[in-house]
Structure 1
Amino acid sequence: MGMAVGMVFLLWSMNVFIKAVGLGSSSCSGVCGNFTIPYPFGIEPGCYIDDWFAIYCNNTLGSPKPFLRRLHLEVLDISSEGTLRVNYPMSWSCPKSETESASNVSLASSPFVFSKLRNIFVAMGCGNVAYLLSSDDSNSSLISIYGLIGGCMSVCEKGTKQSNGSSCNGINCCKTTIPSDLDVFTIIISSMRGASFERTEDCKYAFLVDRKWFEENLTSHFEVQKMSPVPVVLNWGINANLSSLIMGSKSSHSTCQFANRSSSLGNMSSTFTCSCDSGFGGNPYRVDGCQDIDECANPRSCRFFNLRYRCVNIPGNYYCVLDSDHKSRNKILIIGISIGIIGLLFLFIGGWWSYKVIKKRKNIKRKEKFFKRNGGLLLQQQLSSSEVTIEKTTKLFSSKDLEKATDNFNVNRILGQGGQGTVYKGMLIDGKIVAVKKSKVIDEEKLEEFVNEVVILSQINHRNVVKLLGCCLETEVPLLVYEFIPNGTLSQYLYEQNEEFPATWDMRLRIATEVAGALFYLHSVASTPIYHRDIKTTNILLDDKYKAKIADFGTSRSIAVDQTHLTTVVQGTFGYLDPEYFQSSQFSEKSDVYSFGVVLVELLTGEKAISSTRTKECRSLATYFIQAMEENNLFDIIDAQVMKDAK
C-alpha cells in the first residue's frame, strides 16, 4: 500500500515538473512587433503561467501592439521585478458632449493591482471636485463617506481660461495619492459648490496616471486632455498556488519572495515574484534565465591610477590581478607618481588653507542670507515687541549646534517623516534630549505666516501640547526644536503589543480627556484661537508617564477671536477628514472636533481609521461605527480590553 502511494506521488511530481519545464520554453516566440514578451507572460498557449498573463498581438492598429487578453489593456512595458505599464482610460465630463467617458477596467480577482508608489490620482478642470470610490459601480451618482478612499478639487484661475504652465497645484489641476492594494474603483466628477467664477462650459477630467510620466515627461500637464488613455503602472504577482510550476523550472541563481494582498472584497491572497541574485541578470522565471554579468566587459573595472591589472570574471562577481608582463614598468611608474604626489602635497596644503578661509567667509554670508530669507529679522522684531515674555523659553539656535546635536542629521536619528518635514532625535550641548524638525522649503509668500506661527507656538504653555523650544533660520530650510517625547505615538501604543503598559480602559479614558483639554485650550483659552487641522493618533505623542501631548502644528492656523471659520485648500488625512470641510473648504473648530471623534472611536474599538481588511462600504472607521450604532450592535465592535475593564 505504502509503495503504491509513493508511486502516485512520484508520478504527480514528474507531471508538475514536465509541465513547469514546458512553460516558457524556447519554442515560444514571445515577440509582438518590436516588443519582447518575457515569461511568465506569453502569446501562444502553453507559453504563459495562466490566462491572466496571456498576451495577444493586435495587428489592426498599423503596427503590432501587445494587449492583456483578459483585460484588453495595451501593454507598454513589462518588468520582471513585478510591474508593468499599460494604457488606461481616462474619465471625463463635458456639458455639451453626447459621448460618455470610457468606463474603468476592474482588476478584481486578477493578479494585478494599481501601484501606490508609481501612480497618482489627478483631476483637471475649472471648479472640479473628483472623488475616488472603492467600488466598480460606474452608475453611482451619490457622494457620501461610504467607500470614499480619495479625491481632490481644483479651483478656477480668475481672468484666464486655463493655465498653460506645467504645475498641478490646485488651480485647474490637482493631484493626490491612492491607497494600497487598489484593484477596483469608480471616479465621480462634480462641480465645486459656490464657485462664482466657475465655467460650466469647460470639460472636467479625472484619472489615474504614472507619476513619473506625468510629472517629468510632459511639457505641460494639460497635454493629457488631448489623450484618450494614459500610462498607468500595475503591480503583478503570481498566485502562490502556481508556485510548483515555477520552483521546478526557475533559474538556479534567482530568489522568490511571497507577499499577502487584500482584495477590494476584503479577501486575502498570497502571491510571489522572483528576481535574479546579485551579479546575475535576465529572466528569473526560466531555466538558466539568470546569467552571470561579465563585469570585465566594463573598461573601468580593475583600472587603478593607470596601473595595468587583469580582470578575472567569476560567477556573480570578479577580481583583479596585476599583469606580470608590466610589473617592472609599473614599479617605475609608482616611483614617479610618488615623487609627483610629494611635490603636489605642498601645493595642496597651501590651496587647502586658502580654500578653508574662503569657504568660512562664504558660509558666514550664506548663513546671513538664509537667516534674512527665512524671516530671521522679522522674527527677532516680533519676539522683542511681543507683549508676552517669551525670550526665556524660545531660543534662536545656530545651525552648528543642531548639526552637532543630530550627528549631521544622520538617517539613524530619524524619529518620523510627514508632509511638513522630517523629525530627528538630538542632544544639545547641555545634555538635553530634543526633537529637531527639518521643515520643507517655505514659499517666500508664506514667510510672514511662518514667523507669526512660530511666535504663537512659542506662547503656548499647556501640559498636553508639545512645547516649542526654539528654531534655527540660518539654514536653507527652517529648523524647529521641540521637547522630546519618548514613548512614541498613540497609534503605535494602540496597534503594537505593549505587555508592560497595556491599553486599559482607564488609560484610554485619561488620554482622551487630556487631548480634549488641549483642544479646548487651543480653541478657547489661547490668546489667539488656533486650529490644529490634522488631529489623528499619529500626531498624539505619549511622554514617559504615558500622558498625551498634541504635536505637529505644521498645518495649523491661527484666526481672529471673532472669526468662525477658515476658508482654505483642503488638507488633512483621509479617515479623519471632516466631510463638511471636504465639501465646502471651510475649516472650523468643529472640524478639529470631528477628527477627535474618530480618535475616540479608535480608542473604543482598537480599529484603524482606514482599513482595507473591512468591507469596502466600511473601510472608513466613522462609517463602520455609525453603521454599528444604527444596527444596534455597537458592543460587537468595542475592543475586548475595553469590554473587560469598563464595567
Structure 2
Amino acid sequence: MDTCISCVFALDENSKYSSQVSLMVPNSLLQRRSFTVVYSANSRVPEKKAMDLRGKLLQLLLLGFVILAATAASIPNSICERMCGEVEIPYPFGTSEGCYLDKPFLITCNHLYSPPKPFLDVDLPVEDISLPNGELRVSNPVALLCKRDQPICLSPYCRRPTVDYTDISALLNLSSFRISETRNMITAVGCDVYTYIQGTDQGQKGFTTGCLSLCDKNLNVVNESCSGIGCCQTSIPKGATGYILNVRSLSNDTLPGGNDLCGYGFIVDEQAYKFSSLDFRNLKNRTTVPLVLDWAIGNKTCKDAQKNKTSYACKATHSYCYDSTNGPGYRCKCSSGYHGNPYLPDGQDDSCQDIDECKQDHWKLACNANATCINTDGNYTCACPKGYEGDGRIDGTDCRPIVIGQSNNKIISIALGVSISLLVLLVGTSWVYWGLKKRKLIKLREKWFQQNGGLMLQQRLQHHTGSMDTTKIYSAEELKKATDNYNKSNILGQGGYGTVYKGVLADNKVVAIKKSKIGDQSQIEQFINEVVVLTQINHRNVVKLLGCCLDTEVPLLVYEFITNGTLSDHIHDKSRSSLLSWDNRLKIATETAGALAYLHCEASMPIIHRDVKTANILLDGNHTAKVSDFGASRLVPLDQTQLTTLVQGTFGYLDPEYFRTSHLTEKSDVYSFGVVLAELLTSKKVISFVRPESERNLATYFVSMVEEDRLLEILDDHIYNGSNAEELKKVANVAKRSLSVKGDDRPTMKEVAVELDGFRIKEKHSRKES
C-alpha cells in the first residue's frame, strides 16, 4: 500500500483560485533517505499570489520529508539480508543502506569468499554478533617476532622486517566500539620476551601496558597456565578503542630457545585461548585470534536518549534500556517474559514477542499438578480444574476443593489426611535432601581447604610462634556478604595475582579482601607464602593481614583497608601529583625504607619483598606509607645471605644483577627502592615508550643525569622551590647509589633508612629555626 500526502490551499476565503499538491510515496520508499517530488499549481492563479502559494507548498513538503526521513531512519527494510555466510547479522547491524541503524553498524558482506564472510570497517572479520550481551566477536591480528633466514611477512600488519628478524606488529583502531576489558586479556607467548601495547580510550587518552614472559633453559612450562613462565597475561584498560601491539626480546642479538622459536603477542578472548607448550611453534602459522568488542547505541545515557522518541533505539513496546558499562551509550533488552530483537518495532517478526511458557516444562514446577497452564502476555496463569478454587500455584493459594454443605466433610477429611501425609513425606524428604546437601558441602569445603594449601599453611605456621593466634579464619559466607557477593562496584584493583575488593564486615569494620587467581600448584605455594610472610611482620608501615579463608574455590586474604589509594596513583595522576608536597614525599620514602629495613633486619626471619614498586605502597589519609603485596616475597634462613630462585618482579623495577644471575639478595630490594626514589623525585613513569630511547628506562636515565650534574632538569616542578636544591641532590645521590649495577656497591636498606631519616630531622630543625 502507498502513502499519500494531499493538501488544498485557497488564497483567501472568497478566492476562486486554489491549488492542490499530492505526494504519493510507495511504502518501499519509506526505507530510503531521499525523495523526488513534483507539484503543480492552478495556472489561473496570478503570478504574485502563485509565488506565495508555492512558498507555502514548499514548506509543507519539507515538513513531510522530515517526517518520512525520520520514519525511514528508524525502521529497517523487511527484505534486508540477515545472514552473511554462517554469521547472523541482526538489526541494528546490517549489510546495505536502510538495513542498519547508523554508519558504525554497517557490516560488509564479502561474497568473494565461499561461504561469504562479514567484515567490520571493511578489513576486520566478524565471527559472531550478540544482541543480549552487546558483544561483537572479531578476528584479531597476532603480532610476532621471529629469528629468520629469509624475509617473510604473514600478515598485512607487518611493520618493519629487519636484517635478522621478522617483526610483525598488531594494529587495531575502532571508532565506535570498545575492546571488552572483562572478556579479553593481553597475552604474550615465548621465552624471555615481552609484549606491550600503546592504545587510546574513548576520551582519546593514551595508555601503555604489557607483560613479560620468561623461560628456564629446559622450557619447563605448565599447559593452560599463563603465570609468566612461557606465557603471561594482563588485563586491558577499560574503554580502550584502539592500540598498536609489539613483541620484543629481552636479548638484543638472538631469541632465546633457538632460531626456530618465535615470540607472539595478541589480545584474545580469554575463554577462547588456552596456552599449550606447542604454541611456541604452532602460533607462527596463526595470523588471527578471537577478540570480543563491546558495542552500544550512540553516546547518550538511557535517560537522555528517551527524550527523543524518534531516535530512541529501543523500538519494541516490551523492551527496556540500560546504560553501557564500558564507555558511553546504551543497549536494549526485551522485558521479562519476552524474547526477540528489542531494536525492531512491534509488528516485525523478530521484534520482542511473548514467550509461550505453556509450551515449556518449567511452568509445571509452579502450577498444581491438576492445574492447566494458560499463557498470557508476558506471563502465564495456572487454572484449577472444575470443582476447585484458588490461583493454582504451589507457592500461592493452590487448588482447593470447593466445599458444598456437610456432604463434603468426608472428602475434606480424606484430602486433609492425604495432604498431611504428603506434607510429612515432603518434610522428611527435604530433611534427607538438605542433610545430604550439607554433607556434600562440608566435603567440598574440605576438598577446597586441602586444594588451597590449608594443610601446608598449618604446618608452616606451626614453626612460627604466635602466627596461628594472630591470623583469623573467616567463613566464605561472611566475606561474600561483606563484598555484596563480590559486586564489581566494590573492586579496588586487579593484578596478575588476583582481584582486591572493598568489604564491610558484620561489625562495620572496613577491610580489603584479595580474591587470588590460582592457575597451578606454584601459585598455591605463592599464596601460602604471602600468608606466612605477613604473619611474621608487625610494623606500622606494613599493611596488616587480618585473616584468610581457604574453604572456597579460590583462597581469600583479608587485610586492613587503606583509604587513600597507591603511591603510583598520586605520583602519575597530574591532578593529585601537585598535592603531594616534597615533605610528604620524603616522609613516604623514609617510612617505606624503614619498613623494608625492618623486613631485612628485624623480622623473626629476614624477608626479601622482591616486588617493591609504587603500586605496592599504599597511603592512608595522612599520607602514611603502607608496604603491601607480599605474594612474591621470600623468607631467608638465618644462615644464608642469598637465594637462587626463578626470576620474578616488575619490569623497570627489576634488579639487573638478580635478573642476570637468578641470585636473590636484600640488595635486590634496595635497587627497586632506588627506582621508587627516582619516581618520587621526577614523577616520571619507570618505563615509557613515548620517551626517546635514551630516556625510556627511568633508572638508567636518572643515574646518567645525576652523574652529569643535571638533576634539576628532570625534577618534578612541584617539589623544587629554589631553596631545597641541596637536600634534593642528597636524596638523589642516595637513589643513585641504590641503583648501582653491582649489588655490593649498593647501601643496605638500613643505611638508606638512616640517611633519609636524618634528612627529615634536619629539615624539621631548619624549619623551626626559620
TM-score for the superposition, normalised by structure 1: 0.70
Q: Deviations over 1:160-182 (max 9, x none)?
A: 9xx79555554544433333314
1:284-303 matches, within 5 Å, as 284-288=342-346, 290-296=351-357, 297-301=359-363, 303=366
Q: Tell me which residue corresponds to 1:36.
A: 88
**For the residues of structure 2 that align with 1:392 and 1:190, how far apart are their CA atoms?**
43
1:217-296 matches, within 5 Å, as 225-237=284-296, 240=299, 247=311, 251-253=315-317, 254=319, 271-279=328-336, 280-288=338-346, 290-296=351-357
1:501-516 matches, within 5 Å, as 509-516=586-593
> Could you say which structure has the larger radius of gyration?
2
Counterpart check, 1:487 vs 2:540: no
Change (3 A) 1:131 1:107: closer
Moved more, 549-558 or 43-52: 43-52
Preserved CA contact (<8 Å) 1:608 1:621: no
Residue type at the aligned position of 1:85: R
Change (3 A) 1:9 1:203: farther
**For the residues of structure 1 that align with 2:628 and 2:483, how far apart are their CA atoms?**
22
Q: Tell me which residue corresponds to 2:542.
A: 465
- Residue 673 of structure 2: which of 572, 580, 593 is its match? 593
Change (3 A) 1:15 1:632: farther
Counterpart check, 1:179 vs 2:237: yes
Q: Tell me which residue corresponds to 1:155.
A: 215
Q: What SS does the aligned partner of 2:535 have?
A: helix
Q: Deviations over 1:109-158 (max 9, x none)?
A: 62234332222233334x2514223179xxxxxxxxx9752133242672
Q: Tell me which residue corresponds to 2:195.
A: 131
Counterpart check, 1:547 vs 2:610: no
Q: Deviations over 1:372-412 (max 9, x none)?
A: 776666666655655xxx3288446556xx46865766636
Change (3 A) 1:30 1:352: closer
Residue type at the aligned position of 2:590: T
TM-superposed CA distance for 1:467, in Å, is 3.3
- Residue 367 of structure 2: which of 301, 304, 316 is its match? 304
Preserved CA contact (<8 Å) 2:483 2:503: no
Q: Deviations over 1:336-387 (max 9, x none)?
A: 776455335556777777889888988888887777776666666655655x
**For the residues of structure 1 that align with 2:152 and 2:569, how far apart are their CA atoms?**
52
Q: Tell me which residue corresponds to 1:532.
A: 609
TM-superposed CA distance for 1:203, in Å, is 3.9
Q: Deviations over 1:486-508 (max 9, x none)?
A: 63534699599x99xx8776555
Counterpart check, 1:318 vs 2:379: yes
Q: Deviations over 1:208-254 (max 9, x none)?
A: 322212249x998676554333222223345549x889716651545
Q: What SS does the aligned partner of 1:522 have?
A: helix
Q: What SS does the aligned partner of 1:184 have?
A: strand
**For the residues of structure 2 that align with 1:639 and 1:359, how far apart are their CA atoms?**
66
Q: What SS does the aligned partner of 1:514 have?
A: helix
Q: Tell me which residue corresponds to 1:143.
A: none
Preserved CA contact (<8 Å) 1:95 1:202: no
Preserved CA contact (<8 Å) 2:686 2:698: no
**For the residues of structure 2 that align with 1:9 and 1:633, how far apart are their CA atoms?**
68
Preserved CA contact (<8 Å) 2:141 2:171: no
Q: What runs of 5+ residues in structure 1 fail to find an aligned partner?
A: 137-145, 262-269
User: Alignment RMSD, CA only?
Assistant: 5.6
Q: Deviations over 1:498-547 (max 9, x none)?
A: 99xx8776555544432332233224544544333445666444568663
TM-superposed CA distance for 1:207, in Å, is 2.5
- Residue 273 of structure 2: which of 210, 214, 227 is its match? 214
Q: What SS does the aligned partner of 2:155 have?
A: coil
Preserved CA contact (<8 Å) 2:502 2:512: yes
Preserved CA contact (<8 Å) 2:111 2:117: yes
Preserved CA contact (<8 Å) 2:199 2:242: no
**For the residues of structure 1 that align with 2:654 and 2:261, how far apart are their CA atoms?**
29
TM-superposed CA distance for 1:555, in Å, is 2.9
Q: What SS does the aligned partner of 2:332 have?
A: strand
Q: Deviations over 1:301-341 (max 9, x none)?
A: 37424241443423xx3242534636279535998776455
Change (3 A) 1:543 1:528: same
Q: Tell me which residue corresponds to 2:400.
A: 331
Preserved CA contact (<8 Å) 1:123 1:154: no
**For the residues of structure 1 that align with 2:593 and 2:64, how far apart are their CA atoms?**
64
Counterpart check, 1:115 vs 2:115: no
Residue type at the aligned position of 1:177: S
TM-superposed CA distance for 1:183, in Å, is 0.5
Moved more, 168-177 or 549-558: 168-177
**For the residues of structure 2 that align with 1:360 and 1:294, how far apart are their CA atoms?**
36
Moved more, 544-553 or 225-234: 544-553
TM-superposed CA distance for 1:579, in Å, is 9.1
TM-superposed CA distance for 1:107, in Å, is 4.0
TM-score for the superposition, normalised by structure 2: 0.60
Q: What SS does the aligned partner of 2:126 have?
A: strand
TM-superposed CA distance for 1:185, in Å, is 0.7
**For the residues of structure 1 that align with 2:643 and 2:149, how far apart are their CA atoms?**
37
Q: Tell me which residue corresponds to 1:140.
A: none
Residue type at the aligned position of 1:231: P
Residue type at the aligned position of 1:59: H
Change (3 A) 1:282 1:443: closer
Preserved CA contact (<8 Å) 2:222 2:277: no
Q: What SS does the aligned partner of 1:342 have?
A: helix
Q: What SS does the aligned partner of 1:213 have?
A: coil
Preserved CA contact (<8 Å) 2:178 2:295: yes
Q: What runs of 5+ residues in structure 2 fail to find an aligned partner?
A: 1-54, 158-169, 201-205, 393-398, 402-410, 725-763
Q: Deviations over 1:413-432 (max 9, x none)?
A: 87856534656757699x99
Counterpart check, 1:75 vs 2:116: no
**For the residues of structure 2 that align with 1:234 and 1:369, how far apart are their CA atoms?**
38
**For the residues of structure 2 that align with 1:196 and 1:231, how far apart are their CA atoms?**
27
Q: Tell me which residue corresponds to 2:40.
A: none
- Residue 484 of structure 2: which of 402, 411, 424 is its match? 411
1:578-617 matches, within 5 Å, as 578=654, 588-590=668-670, 592-593=672-673, 596-597=676-677, 600=680
**For the residues of structure 2 that align with 1:38 and 1:174, how far apart are their CA atoms?**
36
Change (3 A) 1:245 1:45: farther
Counterpart check, 1:342 vs 2:415: no
Residue type at the aligned position of 2:676: F
**For the residues of structure 2 that align with 1:128 and 1:493, how far apart are their CA atoms?**
29
Counterpart check, 1:518 vs 2:581: no
Change (3 A) 1:221 1:320: farther
Preserved CA contact (<8 Å) 1:465 1:551: yes
Q: Tell me which residue corresponds to 1:95.
A: 148
Change (3 A) 1:195 1:18: closer
Moved more, 319-328 or 332-341: 332-341
Q: Deviations over 1:248-276 (max 9, x none)?
A: 66515455667798xxxxxxxx8524313
**For the residues of structure 1 that align with 2:434 and 2:320, how far apart are their CA atoms?**
50
Preserved CA contact (<8 Å) 1:156 1:197: no
**For the residues of structure 1 that align with 2:445 and 2:104, how far apart are their CA atoms?**
58
Change (3 A) 1:240 1:34: same
